[in-house]
Each structure stands twice: as C-alpha cells, then as structure tokens.
Amino acid sequence: MGRLGLRLATGSVLAFLYIPLVIIFLFAFNADRGQSWPIRSYTVRWFGDALANGDVRDALLLSVEAALGATAISLLLGSLAALAVHRFRFFGRETISFALVLPLALPGIVTGMALNATINTAGIGFGLVTIIVGHATFCIVVVYNNILARLRRTSSSIEEASLDLGATTWQTFRYVTLPVLRTAILAGALLAFALSFDEVIVTTFTAGTDETLPIWILNHLRQPNQRPIVNVVAVAVIVLSAVPVYLSQRLSASDAGGLSG
C-alpha cells in the first residue's frame, strides 16, 4: 500500500515536471501554425525554417560562445579555488568559500542589476565578453563545488605517497592529482555549460542588444507568426541543456564506487 502510494506520488511529481516539456516538443512538430489542441498533423518543416532564420543562427552561435567562455573561466578559477581552499589553512578561507557559493543563491535580478551598473560605470561595451563575465559569476560555484567534493572524498595521503615514491611535485600533479579529479572537473564543466546556456535574467542585463537563444525566445514569444520557430528553438535549448546534465550525472555516478579506494 505504502509502496503504491510512493509510486503514485513519484509519478505525479514527474508528470507535473515533464508534461509541459512534452507539449512543447509536440507543438514543435505541429503542422498547423496555431497552438490548437489536439494536433491534427505533424511536420518537420519548422526545423528547416528555424535553421534558415539568420537571427536564430546568430543567437545559437552567441549562446554557444558565451557558454564555452563562461565554462572556461569557471574551470580555471573554480578548480584553483577548490585546490587552495582544500589544501591550505589561511586567513579568510571560510569567507572565500562563502563568497564563491553566494552568487548561486543571490537573485539573478540583483546580480544582473549590479553587473549592469558596473559595466555602465566602467564604460565597457555590452556584448559577448560581458555575457561571459555575468554567467561566470554563478558557473564558478558549480565547478568549485564538484572539485571540492571530490577532494574531500579522496585520501589526502595519496599525494604524499606519490612524493614519497620519488615523484616530483609536477609528476604528482600529472599522475595522481589530475587523474583523480578528472571526472569531477568534466562533470563540473558540463553543468556550468548547461547553466550558462539557458540563463535569461542575468543575460538581459549584460547582453545589451545582442540576443542569446533564450533571450531570442523571450523576445519572440508574443509574435503569433513566429510561434512554430519559437517552439523549435525551445526544443533545441532543452536538448542542449539536458545532454550535458545527463553526462555529468553519469560521470559522477560511475566514480562513486571506485574512487574511495
């Protein structure tokens, strides 16, 4: 009885989460230009139309560039911060840890406002660079947390063991530290990419007149004749965000058993 109840509850939650997404998916294949239910016939012609649309292509390119840039910055700063916080006891260590995690919890609109004011004051032009910086503020946390969790799960004596066995500091990093962290780094990078790719709020404050894919959707949502293409773009955003998250989960799961040794 309890088991059945649990299944029903799980099922309802999943349905609540995913039915709207499924509907978007179905509408993307709707041959009718209007959003009427039930769907009478299916087509893939909106995918062709979306690809042919220059604005959509530009937005896709910008989104990918921004996500790659934000991921690169997060990897560099997030992993260095994690190593430093894990390995050294220094003044302000807890504060740094807190300061890194905070942007994830801060409302995007506040981060966005603050960045917008700063960029205006500094007189930097809005565009790809400002989008990347804006996204990096919350992407760093994901990389940082992933690597820190792995470091805490790993015996700290393995690096000492490596030095003890004759490896130099550099060899130890190359043969022991990096391989042990590799999957955590990759998982963090994939999550950072996904976070950046579908971000809207901070982007509206940092993109200026440029459009990332999610911003393009927002701007065209209310134009009935663009509706089929908006659906197709939404499907693209869903897929491009879901795949990295899925891969990242797989990576973390496959290591859970093998790395505590």
Going from the C-alpha of 72 to that of each of 79, 193, 218, the distances in angstroms are: 11, 9, 27
Q: How far apart are CA 146 and CA 249, in angstroms?
A: 11
Structure tokens at 66: 């921004």
| Residue 147 beta carbon to another protein: minimum distance, rounded to whole angstroms | 15
For 62, list phi and psi in degrees, rounded to 5: -60, -40
Radius of gyration, alpha carbons of the chain = 22
Query: Using CB under 8 A as the criterion, what x/- string covers residues 158-197 for binding another protein?
Result: x-xxxxxxxxx--x---xx--xx-----------------
| Residue 181 beta carbon to another protein: minimum distance, rounded to whole angstroms | 10
Amino acid present at 193: F
In the bound state with another protein, the residue whose beta carbon lies nearer, of 2 and 257, is: 257
In the bound state with another protein, the residue whose beta carbon lies nearer, of 116 and 183, is: 183
In the bound state with another protein, the residue whose beta carbon lies nearer, of 110 and 165, is: 165
In the bound state with another protein, the residue whose beta carbon lies nearer, of 107 and 179, is: 179
- Residue 258 contacts another protein per CB under 8 A: yes
Strand partners, 42: 30
- Residue 256 contacts another protein per CB under 8 A: no
- Residue 253 contacts another protein per CB under 8 A: no
In the bound state with another protein, the residue whose beta carbon lies nearer, of 102 and 161, is: 161
Residues 144-163 that bind another protein (CB under 8 A): 154-155, 157-158, 160-163
| Residue 154 beta carbon to another protein: minimum distance, rounded to whole angstroms | 7
Residues 94-113 that bind another protein (CB under 8 A): none
Residues at the site binding another protein, with contacts judged by CB under 8 A: 154-155, 157-158, 160-168, 171, 175-176, 179-180, 257-261
